[in-house]
Amino acid sequence: MTTAIAEDGVAVVRRVPLSRGYRFEVVKLVSQWRIRLLVLACWIAPALFVAGVGQQSTLPSDTLFGRWMHATGWAGPLVMLGFAGTWALPLLTSAVAGDVFAAEDRLGTWRHLLVAVRSPRGIFVAKSLASLTVILLLVAGLVCSSVIGGLASVGDQPLVGLDGHLLTPGDAAGRVVLAWLCALAPTLALTALGLLGSVALGRSPMGLLLPPLVALGMQVAQMLPLPVAVRLALPGYAFISWNGLFTSPAQLAPLLIGVAVSLVWAVLATALAYLLFLRRDFTNLAYDGAGRRALTVGLLPPAALTAVTVAVVAVATPSTGSGIEQNKVQRSVATAFAHLYRLQTRQLHRPAVTEAKLRTTAACTKSDGQGAQEGAGNDWRCVVTWHLPDVAVAGTAVYQLDVASDGRFVADGDGPKEVNGYFLVRTPTGDAPNPLWQFDGNVELLDTTSKG
């Protein structure tokens, strides 16, 4: 409790080191009951959810990997990731980063903090790092809890990938972790937007709402029939493109582009928040957000960034259309069918057969062949043909496809009943879910991955 005095008797000016400011901010954050509740929820609720759903007869088959939650514990963390990208992560980033600056406005503690820390830069960095720490703690909770819940309730079984190929438990574990790591990039972008909203809009609730609103906007945009270049240039695309890790070969190009765009957004939004924060007049008690400056500094650069990233992606990848083309749909359906047929063969204890020997092909049409044979829609119909060794006649099966504009599709078997027309198959040990009845897949929107 001493004052630093130089040898000549003149008091010295000393700033608080970043590590102490960071600790101060973490203490303030975790002392809030709201944050404690979130931490508790993120570390407990996913395990309960995954374990609970794993025991139900009805599975969340509208969510990616939801239909495999009975089969393996590794599907649970992926279902949770899909849910987190849509709801949990935007709300968590909003509750933490979206309030970290505004809270000081609400409490009227800015002057106290400035007198104590003496460096707006130090305060900004400490608050940003503290928010990031808490958000990472929450994300870690979602991952660990859902993994533990899945493994405890269902077990460490192989996971069926998005193209039907089987991932060993070890491979599935690695890819689950990688998928969550990739989702950190858009989470960082939302965190930075939360910081920007918190700085720019002060105690206004709009600051708190910025991450969920942006996330909602991005989700709506992904549902629209936008060109691929626009889709990939949006910061939320990495919440979708992690799907590409579960195909063979992995669809890395859209994933890496999505991650890179998210990180650029994170850097830009943080830099804007930093500039707005440093320009703030802390002597003005009536301050209630940066007002007009928030609009110019907070909206124009992100709009410009969107335009630039769209242009860069459009130039770097020849992808100005929907990316959902007939030949890609056919290839995806055929690949997934071949992998899943092998799975069904194993279930039925039939002689093993390889994908190569099956020589599976798919003939897909949209709107019964009327109009352009590309784009999203639930009017795709595919006829899959395959060959069995020593069988002269080729087998055929029909699927109705609902293809979303982000490339995801659900293939719904339309017969024959013995192959894909019924949700159960009769195995020597009893009835089992038919893997060919309905399956998820995705069409890679870019033309970069080698054909699978």
Q: Would you tell me which residues interact with another protein (CB under 8 A)?
A: 1-5, 9-14, 16-17, 20-21, 23-24, 27-28, 31-33, 107-120, 282-285
Q: Quick one: which of 215, 177, 219, 183 has its CA closest to 197?
A: 215
| Torsion 164-170-174-180 (CA) sign | positive
β-partners of residue 431 are 426
Complex with another protein: residue 5 or 40, whichever CB lies closer:
5
Q: Which is nearer to another protein, 120 or 421 (CB)?
A: 120
Least separation in angstroms between residue 101's CB and another protein is: 14
Q: Where do we find the tokens 């609730």?
A: 205
According to DSSP, the residues that pair with 398 across neighbouring strands are 383
Report yes or no: 329 and 350 within 8 Å, Cβ to Cβ.
Answer: no
Min CB(29)–another protein separation in Å: 9
Cα Rg for the chain, rounded, in angstroms?
26
- 159, HSE (Cβ side, Cα atoms, 13 Å): 30
CB of 206 to another protein, least distance (A): 23
* Residue given tokens 């930075």 in the structure block: 192
Measured from the CB atom, the residue of 2 and 57 that comes closer to another protein is: 2
Q: Are 188 and 92 in contact (CB under 8 A)?
A: no
Q: Which is nearer to another protein, 278 or 299 (CB)?
A: 278
Least separation in angstroms between residue 186's CB and another protein is 30
Shortest Cβ distance from residue 24 to another protein (Å)? 5
Residue 117 or 419 having the CB closest to another protein:
117
Torsion of CA 63, 68, 72, 77, to 10 degrees: -10
Residue number with CB closer to another protein (225 or 291): 291
Contact present, 212 and 197 (Cβ < 8 Å): no
Q: Which parts of 154-250 fold into alpha helices (H)?
A: 169-201, 205-223, 228-232, 238-241
**Angle 396-402-404 (CA atoms, 0-180°, nearest 5)?**
135
How many contiguous H segments (helices) and E segments (strands) does the chain have? 15, 9
Nearer to another protein, 19 or 378 (CB): 19
Nearer to another protein, 11 or 315 (CB): 11
Q: Give the Cβ contact number of residue 398 at 10 Å.
A: 16
Pick the closer one to another protein by CB: 74 or 110.
Answer: 110
* Distance of closest approach, residue 197 Cβ to another protein, in angstroms: 22
Nearer to another protein, 79 or 137 (CB): 137
Quickly count: other Cβ atoms within 10 Å of residue 93's Cβ. Answer: 30
Helix (H, G, I), strand (E, B) or coil at 168: coil
**Shortest Cβ distance from residue 25 to another protein (Å)?**
10
Shortest distance in whole angstroms from residue 117 CB to another protein: 7
CB of residue 9 to another protein, shortest distance in Å = 7
Nearest approach, Cβ of residue 432 and another protein (Å) = 53
Write the CB contacts of 252 (distance below 8 Å, at least 6 apart in sequence).
244, 449
Is there a contact between 89 and 182 (Cβ–Cβ < 8 Å)? no
- Nearest to residue 409, comparing CAs of 365, 377, 441, 364? 441
Separation of alpha carbons 441 and 64, rounded Å: 9
